[in-house]
Amino acid sequence: MEQNRRKSEQTDSKNKFFRYNKVISNNIHNRIRCRMELYEAIYKRRTVRDFEDKIVPEEVLERIINAGLQAPTHDHLRNWEFVIIQDKKDKENVLQYIKKGIEPQLEILKQILTEGTSQQKMYAIAMPRQYTMLYNSSHIILPFFRTNSGVLNPTSVSSLNPLTSIWCAIENIFLAATAEGLGCSMRIPVGEEGLNVAAEVGAPSDYLLPCYIGLGYPAKDRSDVEQAEYNAKQKIHLGKW
Ligand SMILES: Cc1cc2nc3c(=O)[nH]c(=O)nc-3n(C[C@H](O)[C@H](O)[C@H](O)COP(=O)(O)O)c2cc1C
């Protein structure tokens, strides 16, 4: 009788042990699987400048912005706001300033295209699309960050923290969009463009626009930019440069 009781106790604890190990290995498996998905998004992300005529559902848009809001931030602030534009007329209003900025850029393009490095090939694809890669997107995302006097007159790298922080959020947005099967274009406002766009959408005067983002479903026949290959071995300097 006593022998049977002990045997049953042993079997019980053995079962518990295996159940416990199974939970642990499932967790590890999930963690590894998640990490693999992240790496896949990192490697798949590309700047997309040609989109299908298809609207991204609101809940997907929210997931992507939420991913942006998980980014690290200086001073624990996350002083970020996102204006999102879908309506074609509103897009035209916001993008009118790009048209004025593009003309001089296209002139530069004509000069540099004679040489044909991979950077110049990128310009050849990117420059003529600065307007359409936003206008033809499903949604234009305008990320805004709250600035301070240091950002536009920096005295050290840390003066740029508000700008640096929002770029962490922007990269999260790009990766989340990729994980959703979407793509993003981006344009940095030139000259007065950013201030004009901020005024157009009614942003408070202490908020700046670091870039425009065009979000949408990548067109199947889009023009892909040739990518140079890099790897860590070429870039790591162990202990000393
Ligand atoms: C700071 C920054 C500024 C950029 N500005 C523009 C821009 O004004 N217009 C544009 O079409 N792409 C812009 N890009 C996208 C780059 O052209 C693109 O990231 C680069 O060619 C590498 O290609 P990939 O994103 O497909 O890897 C910018 C990217 C960064 C990080």
Strands 139-146 and 212-216: antiparallel
Looking from the CA of residue 46, the nearest atom of ligand 1 is: 26
Ligand 1: centre distance to CA 186 (Å):
6
Q: Does residue 160 lie within any of the structural domains?
A: yes
Q: Whole-number mean pLDDT of the chain?
A: 87
Specify whether 85 is located in the same domain as 156.
yes
Cβ of 187 less than 6 Å from ligand 1: yes
Per-residue pLDDT band at 138 (split at 50, 70, 90) = very high
Q: Does residue 231 lie within any of the structural domains?
A: no
The lowest-confidence range among 2-11, 97-106, 144-153, 156-165 is 2-11
Instruction: Output the residue whose Cα is nearest ligand 1's atom 31.
Output: 186
Q: Does residue 79 lie within any of the structural domains?
A: yes
Cβ of 122 less than 6 Å from ligand 1: yes
Specify whether 58 is located in the same domain as 35.
no
Looking from the CA of residue 188, the nearest atom of ligand 1 is: 8
Q: One-letter amino acid identity for 192?
A: E
Specify whether 106 is located in the same domain as 138.
yes
Residues whose CB falls within 8 Å of the CB of residue 203, separated by 6 or more in sequence, listed in order: 81, 83, 144, 209
Give the CATH number for residue 187. Answer: 3.40.109.10
Question: Which runs of consecutive H residues, i.e. helices, occur in 113-211?
Answer: 118-126, 132-135, 149-152, 161-179, 193-200
Q: How many domains does the chain have?
A: 2
pLDDT of residue 201: 98
pLDDT of residue 24: 45
pLDDT of residue 36: 59
Its domain, for residue 99, covers: 52-224
Specify whether 159 is located in the same domain as 120.
yes
Cβ of 213 less than 6 Å from ligand 1: no
Instruction: Output the residue whose Cα is nearest ligand 1's atom 6.
Output: 187
Per-residue pLDDT band at 208 (split at 50, 70, 90) = very high
Specify whether 89 is located in the same domain as 66.
yes
Specify whether 82 is located in the same domain as 173.
yes
Specify whether 6 is located in the same domain as 56.
no
Q: Does residue 212 lie within any of the structural domains?
A: yes
Q: Does residue 238 lie within any of the structural domains?
A: no
Ligand 1 pocket test, pick from 188, 222, 226, 230 with the greatest ligand atom count within 8 Å of Cβ, gives 188
Q: Does residue 233 lie within any of the structural domains?
A: no
**pLDDT reading at 69 higher than 60:** yes
Specify whether 188 is located in the same domain as 123.
yes
**pLDDT reading at 34 higher than 80:** no
Q: What is the rounded CA–CA span in Å between residue 213 and residue 96? A: 15
Cβ of 48 less than 6 Å from ligand 1: no
Looking from the CA of residue 190, the nearest atom of ligand 1 is: 8
Ligand 1: centre distance to CA 68 (Å):
18
Cβ of 134 less than 6 Å from ligand 1: no
Specify whether 14 is located in the same domain as 116.
no
**pLDDT reading at 229 higher than 60:** yes
pLDDT of residue 203: 98
Residues whose CB falls within 8 Å of the CB of residue 64, separated by 6 or more in sequence, listed in order: 173, 176, 177, 180, 182, 215
Cβ of 46 less than 6 Å from ligand 1: yes
pLDDT of residue 5: 61
Q: Does residue 178 lie within any of the structural domains?
A: yes
pLDDT of residue 154: 96
User: What is the three-class DSSP state of 138?
Assistant: coil
For the segment 186-197, the average pLDDT, to the nearest whole number, is 95
Burial letters 141-156, b for 16+ CB under 10 A, else e: bbbbbbbeeebeeeee
Specify whether 16 is located in the same domain as 96.
no
Ligand 1: centre distance to CA 122 (Å):
9
Tokens, residue 201: 């959408």
Specify whether 10 is located in the same domain as 104.
no
**pLDDT reading at 104 higher than 50:** yes
Decide: residue 121, CB within 10 A, 0-12 exposed, 13-18 middle, 19+ buried. middle
Considering the chain, what percentage of its residues have pLDDT values greater than 70?
Answer: 81
Per-residue pLDDT band at 189 (split at 50, 70, 90) = very high
**pLDDT reading at 47 higher than 60:** yes
Q: Does residue 241 lie within any of the structural domains?
A: no
Specify whether 164 is located in the same domain as 132.
yes
**pLDDT reading at 64 higher than 90:** yes
**pLDDT reading at 173 higher than 60:** yes
